Structure 1
Amino acid sequence: MSDIDPPPRAAAPFITFVTLLRANGFAVAPEQTTAFLSAIVLLGPRDPEDIRRAGLATLAPPPERHAAYHALFDLHFLGEASPDLAEGDDGDVVRVQEDRRGADEPVTADESIESGQAATRAEALVERRFGPADAGEALRRLKRQAERRLPKRLSYRRLRARRGAVVDLRRTLRDATRSDGEFFKLSRLKRRMRPRKVLLLIDVSGSMKARTEDNLRLAHALTQASQRVEVFTFGTRLTRVTRPMRLRRSEQALAGAAQIVSDWDGGTRIGDALKAFLAVPRFASYARGAVTLIVSDGLERGDPAALAEAVAKLSRGSWRLSWLTPLATERDFRPRTEALVAIFPFVDDMVDGGSVSAIVDHVLAIGRRRAA
């Protein structure tokens, strides 16, 4: 039995508020939560504004996100949405959804998006259903060759080898005892090779509607081929779908993702989604030293400078960053849209992402390339 007493019931609203901040991309450490509760006890607040100021002082939201902080505070403690949230734009707030919390909100949709060609910032919560389909030859090739051709890195663990930079002193001394202390050879150790992490970010906005199902089937095949794959979807929200992608049958995996993701075929807020990803320390750690693959057309309706800043930060942490866009159909492709031009200096590859075969070819070829 644990010796730690549970928090009092009166602290539940404040802890829930911190959880809400984290779910919307605010980085709040456990120590900050404790400081926030201590400030509430110290102030003995008689007015909600005391709680608001205590949160600003202890939870330390960045200045550029104060508007989002105040909007979430009003929504949680006062039960009213700010004008920014009421307009449906959510300001600069991008919801972060975990794969185990997909049913937090009812799935609603005022209208269906048929064309899937327009890029917008507006959020549309819809339900998506995927039909059965046979695995194509490209996906079968990915499953067969991924273990051998995906990038690897040196592990800190060592194993026996004929040649190696390190002498296995323990085994050498043990062998010497069998020959009366004579050393006939030195046992060697070398570092093991282990698969490098793969981070896959998939655009599920309306402009990528025609490619969404194929991209998710590719994500499922990649997750089945390697154990070190993390999958996220983004549109107007950021959702981790790694857990359903680990289900063995593709139909079950896609059905599980359909229940979790709620922003299918909606708006496009790539920069805000990537910033929300980087703001959660656990998510950002998935990109450290990883092969990062972003499958998106790059039709951003937000600020291209904010998108470039997020991509630059993601690139610095990744081993290699590839942007796969359906617009790059030619070998000598040069970006023309404002967003793609802004991020072009920070990506290692900007290649064709318009078909499963093209993406599989790129993924299997990454292992032969060195980090930029």
Structure 2
Amino acid sequence: MTTPFEISARLCAGFADQLRRHGVETSPEQTTALYAALHQLDRVRLRDLYLAGRVTMVGAREQFTAYDAAFRAYFLGADGTGATAVAVSRPVAVAESRSPEPTAGTPSARPAEDADDEVDHARLTPSDIQVLKEKSFAAMDADERRRAAALVRTLDADLPRRRSRRRVRAHRGRHLDTRRSLRAALRTDGEPIRLARRRNPTRERPITFVVDVSGSMAPYALAVLRFAHALAHAGHRVEVFTVGVRATRITEQLRRTCVDAALSRIAAAVRDWDGGTRLGTSLATVLDRYGGHRAVRGAVVVVCSDGLDRDDPAILATAMQHLHRIAHRVMWLNPLKGDPRYRPLQRGMAAALPHVDVFLPGHNLTSLEQLCAALAAVRRRSA
């Protein structure tokens, strides 16, 4: 029995929803990948559909059993009979729908959507993109946050580099490789015909985000975490800490390929999300635990906070002075700076500002682009 049916965005999104019911976390990016993979073929057999879904929608071997159950339930039905061939329509059309999305508070995995982020991005005109880039994260609705998240994934940073202490083989270098030169001389009766060299290669400096997750920073913290996730999965060395009532290292949670799954794990790990602010104490805790780690020493540290701190300003000033001494550069993103009338007169911000190398707004996509430009400028100065 064959029952050909049409591959559509709605069908792929429905399958993703079925997978989530069986405990397999999926994201709109994975749904888009399945949709694009199936449209590479004019006619897809059931086995092709099964394998394409397993490659694009499953992130761990332990989920294969749940994936098989979801596939049988969605495509074969309860009686085990279903389609053996799938017709793919041309041209590709994506049906647009709107699904409820979480608010700008605690991060969580958003529900399945028929319209994928890449298609939505393609539909935006240059003027629409510019308006979206200038709009504050706090003022965005659910649809605008989804489109902004797609734009955040396109950002990349040119990070500064430093010379490594470990030497490697090289055709040309400042240092003589004595051992290799002597071994080569054995082949020429002890006469060193060519001297081997070694050099110290350069490697990219780590970038560390210290993100304030207090109540006033919730929408901006989510955007910065998405940006950090994009950098981490672009191959950069990224460390991330959240600060509020306490300090929490969330670098491991951010390693998940799916950004929504990563945010869900962060929500479970960060106990003080949307709480109070003890910025000075939290930052001092990070320095006490990781002051000698590559996450801080010699790294580019980006602090994202509005500076509204309930701690004694002297604690924050001492911590920032220590941070400025051991880090390569200290940058501060303050969403309040997006207002032209803003002046850093709060006690916490006034205490931290003398120890900050670059002070930028952090309220919209344009400010994240300015951060990328500032990182590139640091690299040029270092070179």
Q: TM-score, normalised by structure 1?
A: 0.58
Deviation for aligned residue 1:334: 5.9
From the superposition, tell whether residues 190 and 285 of structure 1 become closer, same or farther in structure 2 (CA, over 3 Å).
closer
Match of 2:276 in 1: 267
Match of 1:50 in 2: none
CA contact (8 A) 1:139 1:218 kept: yes
Match of 1:241 in 2: 250
Match of 1:221 in 2: 230
2:118 pairs with 1:139: no
- Cα distance in 2 for partners of 1:293, 1:239 equals 15
3-state SS of the aligned residue for 1:157? coil
Q: For 1:184, give the aligned amino acid.
A: I
Q: For 1:319, give the aligned amino acid.
A: H
- Cα distance in 2 for partners of 1:208, 1:259 equals 18
Deviation for aligned residue 1:262: 1.9
- Cα distance in 1 for partners of 2:345, 2:190 equals 72
Match of 2:326 in 1: 317
From the superposition, tell whether residues 360 and 283 of structure 1 become closer, same or farther in structure 2 (CA, over 3 Å).
farther
Per-residue CA deviations over 1:121-178 (Å, capped at 9, x if unaligned) read xxxxx96535364643342231xxx4xx212221122223333110122222233333
CA contact (8 A) 1:127 1:259 kept: no
Match of 2:361 in 1: 352
3-state SS of the aligned residue for 2:183? helix
List alignment gaps of at least 5 residues for structure 2: 1-102, 112-145
CA contact (8 A) 1:307 1:339 kept: yes
- Cα distance in 1 for partners of 2:340, 2:205 equals 27
- Cα distance in 2 for partners of 1:285, 1:272 equals 21
- Cα distance in 1 for partners of 2:297, 2:303 equals 15
Task: Give the stretch that moved more between structures: 247-256 or 215-224.
Answer: 215-224
- Cα distance in 2 for partners of 1:300, 1:365 equals 26
Deviation for aligned residue 1:360: 4.3
Q: For 1:129, give the aligned amino acid.
A: S
CA contact (8 A) 2:152 2:226 kept: no
- Cα distance in 1 for partners of 2:107, 2:185 equals 67
Per-residue CA deviations over 1:64-95 (Å, capped at 9, x if unaligned) read xxxxxxxxxxxxxxxxxxxxxxxxxxxxxxxx
Deviation for aligned residue 1:284: 6.0
- Cα distance in 1 for partners of 2:110, 2:292 equals 30
CA contact (8 A) 1:247 1:253 kept: yes
List alignment gaps of at least 5 residues for structure 1: 1-114, 117-125
- Cα distance in 1 for partners of 2:234, 2:328 equals 20
1:331-346 correspondence to structure 2 within 5 Å: 335-346=344-355
From the superposition, tell whether residues 166 and 322 of structure 1 become closer, same or farther in structure 2 (CA, over 3 Å).
same
Deviation for aligned residue 1:302: 2.4
Match of 1:258 in 2: 267
2:208 pairs with 1:199: yes
CA contact (8 A) 2:210 2:240 kept: yes
2:358 pairs with 1:362: no
3-state SS of the aligned residue for 1:186? coil
CA contact (8 A) 1:152 1:367 kept: no
Larger relative CO (CA 8 A, sep 6+): 1 or 2?
Answer: 1
Match of 1:295 in 2: 304
1:1-372 correspondence to structure 2 within 5 Å: 128-131=107-110, 133=146, 135-142=149-156, 146=157, 149-226=158-235, 228-280=237-289, 286-329=295-338, 335-363=344-372, 365-369=374-378, 370=381
RMSD, matched Cα: 2.9
- Cα distance in 1 for partners of 2:188, 2:247 equals 63
Aligned residues: 243
- Cα distance in 1 for partners of 2:237, 2:290 equals 18
Q: For 1:298, give the aligned amino acid.
A: G
Q: For 1:137, give the aligned amino acid.
A: L
Deviation for aligned residue 1:230: 1.4
- Cα distance in 1 for partners of 2:203, 2:109 equals 34
Deviation for aligned residue 1:258: 1.0
- Cα distance in 2 for partners of 1:165, 1:332 equals 53
Larger radius of gyration: 2
- Cα distance in 1 for partners of 2:264, 2:290 equals 28
From the superposition, tell whether residues 332 and 160 of structure 1 become closer, same or farther in structure 2 (CA, over 3 Å).
farther
